[in-house]
Amino acid sequence: MYTAQAAQATNEREIIIKNVSHTYRNGTCALNNINLEIGVGLFGMLGANGAGKSTLMRIICTLLEPAAGNVTMAGYDVVKDRKKVRNLFGYLPQEFGAWRGKSVEESLHILASLSGLNDKQERTKRVAEVLGMVGLGQVAKRKVKQLSGGMLRRLGIAQALVHNPLVLIMDEPTVGLDPEERLRFRKLMAELSREHIVVLSTHIIADLGSSCSEIALIHEGQLEFTGTPADLIAKAQGRVFELSASNELLQKLELNDDFEIVARSIHEGNNLIRGVARESFRLNDSSPAQNITLEEAHLAFTLDKGFHADEFEVM
């Protein structure tokens, strides 16, 4: 089996996406000339639902052939070398399910067998190891149908990890999770991204966390931005403001499409506002804010591009 260690030995530890386009039969252009290079670390693929992220994920995972362009994983073409590529990655789809009547341990054994782990002794050791990694060791004997939503997502991560792949591909992995489970998930992704290529597709900005090494922002099939979180934050300098506003000004700002309020409080009868402005917008008696967050930087970018901010979640 071609594992992460084998990929490291060949120095081919990246996914290269060249000029990838795809149009569905109904005429919908899902992707238009996408070019990306993804190395070891956490790569965030950010976009609203329907932006084209899942289409690109399916192409990377060999589930869909691109209409144009090509993708290679560790030097293997995802179309021509499909079998070899499938040994290289683990995939957590947006909707993950397992055998509800089986135990967590039994389900992972079955999935590990399907991933090529045929030696029972080796498989048993790996199953126990991976369940411990995702925090499910204590519930290994529990039926899958008895798991919470967060535990089921962790089982999904376990099945993606069980054959020790080079690449982990996660499609909207935290949908339906509570804040505590989201935090646990982000910590796990940070740990895994030290040795793996982790591609995380999401419309929830907070999923990317501080460990994200690079971001691609996709909108209506177009690659609108690629770079580090620091690059995106740098673009927002001078665009995030703090001010004290009267009730009348507050009402005007709430209705203004050029300004998005991100935080508000009341101090000594005054409305204290923090918000993000479109580049062309001018705001009197305001001060540039410090410590711009990734969420605010993303909001500044989407305002300028004319995207709808409510298509994204910050959480």
Give the alpha-carbon dihedral of 101, 105, 107, 112, to 10 degrees.
-170
pTM listed for this prediction = 0.82
21, 69 contact by CB (below 8 A): yes
β-bridge partners, 18: 70
Domain locations in the chain as residue ranges: 4-228, 234-311
5 pLDDT more than 70: no
pLDDT per position as a tens digit, 61-92 = 999 999 999 999 999 999 999 999 988 998 88
pLDDT of the residue at 60: 94
Strands 222-227 and 212-219: antiparallel
Q: Work out the pLDDT band at 156, boundaries 50, 70, 90.
A: confident
Residue percentage of the chain with pLDDT more than 90: 32
Joined tokens for residue 179: 């804040």
Question: DSSP letter string over 57-74?
Answer: HHHHTTSS--SEEEEEET
174 pLDDT more than 90: no
Which CATH code of 2.60.120.260, 3.40.50.1100, 1.10.3720.10, 3.40.50.300 fits the domain covering 4-228? 3.40.50.300
pLDDT of the residue at 307: 62
